[in-house]
């Protein structure tokens, strides 16, 4: 499972606007993991209203340690059918 961070080679550059990141994720079939709780839901709504799709968005929880968030994401990856998150925003902690 590849993991790319914004700003790394072959991914959107740092400073890319949310709508462009959503289009990139759709095109490359990447789930988005973000800490953007405020504007990303609005941008996803607009993205979907335009007839587009998103493989899924997971919003990090500032009250969880990095290790706990990684554990949650690993559990999701192992147990879930990733397609069930299409066009949805999920907030960690799921357990």
| Residue 68 domain flag | yes
Name the residue with higher pLDDT: 3 or 27.
Answer: 27
| Residue 42 domain flag | yes
**Burial of residue 91 (number of CB atoms within 10 Å: 0-12, 13-18, 19+):** exposed
Number of domains in the chain: 1
Residues 29-75 pLDDT 10s = 999 999 888 899 999 999 999 999 999 999 998 888 999 888 988 88
**Burial of residue 18 (number of CB atoms within 10 Å: 0-12, 13-18, 19+):** middle
Query: Which pTM does this prediction carry?
Result: 0.85
Average pLDDT over residues 78-92: 87
| Residue 8 domain flag | no
| Residue 10 domain flag | no
- Domain hosting 87: range is 18-91
Average pLDDT over residues 79-83: 82
| Residue 2 domain flag | no
Is it the case that residue 3 has pLDDT exceeding 80? no
């Amino acid at each position: 499972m590849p993991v790319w961070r914004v700003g790394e080679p072959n991914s959107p550059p740092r400073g890319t606007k949310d709508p462009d990141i959503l289009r990139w994720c759709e095109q490359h079939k990447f789930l988005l993991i973000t800490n953007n709780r405020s504007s990303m839901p609005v941008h996803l709504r607009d993205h979907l209203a335009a007839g587009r799709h998103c493989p899924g968005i997971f919003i990090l929880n500032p009250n969880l340690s990095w290790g706990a968030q990684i554990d949650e994401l690993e559990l999701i990856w192992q147990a879930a059918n990733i397609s069930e998150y299409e066009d949805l925003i999920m907030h960690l902690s799921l357990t």
